[in-house]
Amino acid sequence: NAGVTQTPKFQVLKTGQSMTLQCAQDMNHNSMYWYRQDPGMGLRLIYYSASEGTTDKGEVPNGYNVSRLNKREFSLRLESAAPSQTSVYFCASSDPGTATEAFFGQGTRLTVV
């Protein structure tokens, strides 16, 4: 049982490049989330998906797009990377119906130069 799997684990981008962060969960959870973690700022919600086919903006959505491809997969896309997007990105999933906590992936450390 892998839980939440994120790829890649590390990435270096040049300013203006694009990339997609992949996330998959095998717990049959309805809700999935993307957070970014920056020193002194905790985890901030970028986007979340309450169920397959729906997505909503979180606290810091600018510069990002998401796709809930199916129940298992939730991807985060940076169309034109900026140095301000240098961060550690975490994907998480949960099942609101059973009030379970969020389960997190191991994170993607992204550096934009």
Partner 1 sequence: AQSVTQLDSQVPVFEEAPVELRCNYSSSVSVYLFWYVQYPNQGLQLLLKYLSGSTLVKGINGFEAEFNKSQTSFHLRKPSVHISDTAEYFCAVSDRGYQKVTFGIGTKLQVIP
CA distance 106 to 83: 22
| x-or-dash string of contact with partner 1, 36-75, rule CB under 8 A | ----xxxxxx--x-x-------x-----------------
CB of 16 to partner 1, least distance (A): 28
Contact call for residues 1 and 26 (beta carbons, < 8 A): yes
Q: Does 8 bind partner 1 (CB under 8 A)?
A: no
- Which CB, 14 or 40, lies closer to partner 1? 40
CA distance 93 to 71: 10
